[in-house]
Amino acid sequence: MARRPLPRILSNGSDRIVRGRELARSAADSATDVLHPLITITRGLRRLAAAGRHRWSGTPKDRRGPLLFLLAAIVLAVAFLPFGPLLATITLMAAAAWHGRDRTASRPAGPDAAQTKRLQSLYEALVPYFSVPEDPAPLFTHGGEWSKAFVSYAFDGTGRISQLTIRYPAYFTDGDAASRARIEQLLHTKSGRGREYRFEWDEEGNQLTVTVLPPLSADIAAQRFVTAPGETVLGFTDPAGVQRTLPVISGTQGRDVPPVVWRTGVRSTEPHLLAVGGPGSGTSTLLRSIALQTLRHSDVLIVEGGGTGEYACLAGRAGVLAVECDLAGALAGLEWATHETERRLIAMNRARQAGQSAPDDTRRPLWLLLDRPTVLGQLAASEGRRDPQSLLQVPLRHGRAAGVTVVVAEQFDGMESLTDLVRQHTRARVVLGPASAGQLEAVLGTLPPTTPTPDVPAGRGYARLGTGPVHRLQVPATPDPYDEATSEVHRQAVLNLLPKRTAPAETEADAKPANVTVVMTKDGTGAEAGAKVTAEG
């Protein structure tokens, strides 16, 4: 029996469909090329109309009438001008063509030969850490394809890696701190030293993202920050670290920067702070910045153990109870602070029992700023006196309820001399200046997610509030205005923030205002030492 041929529509119908699709695609491409100017202008008109509607909705109702009158006047003026409508139409079409242009970013080209060599070298360096002999299909092998392991990458203008996302095997022990530290150290070394890197580990997706961080701005001087009472700006950090920005003046321009805000008060979980750094790291700058911010609504007692006169500019100022540089004055001032804390607690407890609000003389916060107290402790031990740190027991334990905040600044070589009481109650921590990984972990309780650089400006370091994340920190430039090496801009910035003088600096020890109380104490030899401090809240 002869085989009947298939219908022609079934035998060559697919070819006709393919040819039809190609013809339709060619016609559409040709039409798009021909009508591209019209499409661009139409898109631009639509965007201009959307912008006009948004501007009109954002205009207050009391200003819409004058705005309509102004637009009508412009339309009439253009209509009566020679060639006015034609020029207006040309201007509108040009604006529409500009706003309707294709803004799609061009796809980045692949890496060049030098960049490919760098990526391959980095891939080979990771092979011993991301592969095991038992893996039947290893992701990292010598001579393998780096494109399978590197999800995304970016290079800076110098040809070095600025961003890299690495996919690693699931059996890698990413929960082990030592294993992660080895990988981070390797990437830091191979990608280029002298820069600061942030490492973000995604344990669920088995990915590691390496990002090169730009240096923090060090040109922000001391100024009045927009903060609420009880908030203190320790410095500024990366935009990704916090969800808040503050307007600041940097040089002659204003901009918004993300701050590291420390909150104190009754509801604070970190009522006291410890700042540690090396010589010239900026711990005294941090204390001066805190003092200038808190003097707007608090009283401040300063104890300087270094004896360098870093806080002479605050002596005799309104709100500054005393600036003590010797052992006798420090002991007297801290003993008064202990009694003042107890007095506040008793007064507030009695007011609560009576169903009343806290007395007015207990509401004004009191700040105790101690710079290098271990130096005074060594001097007290040699003379057989009491360690000034022992007088911080009551302010540290009960300061939050009484409105007393303690800030201690110490150098790394004096960390061993700090008492356990100071270490336990100073939950807000700051590390400034160059520091090793062991020193950072000892102070902050954990390693920061970034690699520290060996050379950093003064006031540059890390901050951690309680058990929160570790933030990069740059303290506002708050130098001693009496220092000859200080720039005139920073000097004037500090002088403008200083409160008014209540007594001349040279006669401060002889002056006794009407609202001071003389607190007497006995030293180890029986001699009396006095310290005049303000007891008025």
C-alpha–C-alpha distance, residues 46 and 26, integer Å = 28
pLDDT attached to residue 283: 94
C-alpha–C-alpha distance, residues 8 and 239, integer Å = 68
Amino acid at 217: S
pLDDT attached to residue 218: 86
Q: Pairing mode, if any, of strands 299-304 and 366-371?
A: parallel
The annotation places the binding site at 277-284
CA distances to 279, 280, 380, 518 from 409, rounded to whole Å, are 12, 12, 18, 27
Instruction: Give, to the nearest 10 degrees, the angle between helix 113-126 and helix 177-191.
Output: 150
pLDDT attached to residue 298: 94
**What are the average pLDDT values for consecutive 10-residue runs of the chain, which has 537 residues?**
49 57 68 73 84 80 83 86 84 83 58 89 93 90 90 88 93 90 90 86 93 89 92 92 88 88 92 94 95 94 90 93 94 96 95 92 94 94 93 95 96 93 95 91 90 82 94 94 90 93 56 36 37 37
| Segments in 168-300 forming alpha helices (H) | 177-191, 283-294
pLDDT attached to residue 526: 37
Asked whether the beta carbons of 376 and 308 are under 8 A apart, the reply is: no
pTM of the entire predicted model: 0.72
C-alpha–C-alpha distance, residues 120 and 144, integer Å = 9
CA angle 312–318–321, rounded 5-degree value: 70
C-alpha–C-alpha distance, residues 209 and 199, integer Å = 6
The separation between CA 284 and the C-alpha centre of its own chain, rounded to angstroms, equals: 19
CA angle 455–460–462, rounded 5-degree value: 115
Classified as helix, coil or strand, 216 is coil
pLDDT attached to residue 510: 42
Beta strands, E only, 129-245: 150-155, 161-167, 196-202, 207-213, 231-236
pLDDT attached to residue 395: 96
Contact residues for 161 (Cβ-Cβ < 8 A; gap 6+):
118, 119, 122, 153, 154, 155, 191, 192, 210, 212
pLDDT attached to residue 507: 44
pLDDT attached to residue 531: 38
pLDDT attached to residue 523: 39
The annotation places the binding site for ATP at 277-284
The separation between CA 185 and the C-alpha centre of its own chain, rounded to angstroms, equals: 24
Q: Greatest CA span in the chain, whole angstroms?
A: 134
pLDDT attached to residue 103: 65
